[in-house]
Amino acid sequence: MRGMEIPRFPRKFTKPDLSNFLRQRLSQTIVLWPEQAIPLVGYMAWPNEPAARDDGLHMLRSWGHGSTAVPPRLRRIQHEWLRVADVFHWYCDLMDGRHQARRGGPSIGKAITLVAAKAQSCGTSEASLWLYWEKYKDVAHLVTAAALIRREARIQSRNSPFGPLGLSVNQFVPFQMGMLMPDLVLAVALEFEARGLREPSVAWAEPAFDPQTLWRIPPDINVEAFPHLIREPGPDDLAILNARRAGNRGKANKRQGGKSISPL
């Protein structure tokens, strides 16, 4: 079992009024909790690459001394985060709605089928989604939380901008959510962590997360879980799943680059 090394917040984070909280934090660009925010985004970006994570953390900490260096591939990493967030959020939605019970219950494979079928951007084939899942599955609770908060911030900003000193809409990205609101990201992620470790059904006994490799949120970090928003799959989504052959995982089982990709 792995636990993230993130310091305890000095103040207790309990369930806030989300609208007021977002407006307060995103009306400026000051990183209030750098000791928590920087390690958090480090785990998110490089979950299983300790050397790259150390380099990235060094670069991020140098921003406090005037550096403008940006970690390599940060834009691409965030694109991959959003795809993983789509997959895991759909998995949670299927589990919460108790869908597909007669076909083994919810699974990451079924969530990937949904995302691939509904996607309209590049890099969203089932094979690509499996690769992204394998890369970030140990921090999927974190990146899903950051992506969800990003979406909420964009919706609220369209209705009422956060002010001249805050972020513009095109700056609402998962990385910024982690830097400016690490407490909220961790609070939402606590709920996702619990759901990902839960057995989804009797027929499908394995949870989405591997309990041995998941980067767990420290229990004494002074953050209370904040429930995420549940989306109810529509008729078109269920039709996609009903048409899915049992055990079908697209191209995920094909050998790529000499390595077999094995889904959960």
Give tens-digit pLDDT for 156-172.
Answer: 888 788 877 777 777 88
Prediction pTM value: 0.84
**Contact of 113 with 248, CB cutoff 8 Å:** yes
- Spans of all domains in the chain: 2-260
Nearest to 150 by CA among 16, 15, 22: 22
Nearest to 249 by CA among 139, 165, 164, 125: 125
CA separation for the pair 214, 2 (Å, rounded):
6
Pairing of strands 215-216, 2-3: parallel
As a whole number, the mean pLDDT across the chain is 83
Give the pLDDT confidence of 60-90 residue by residue, as tens digits.
999 988 888 889 899 999 999 999 999 998 8
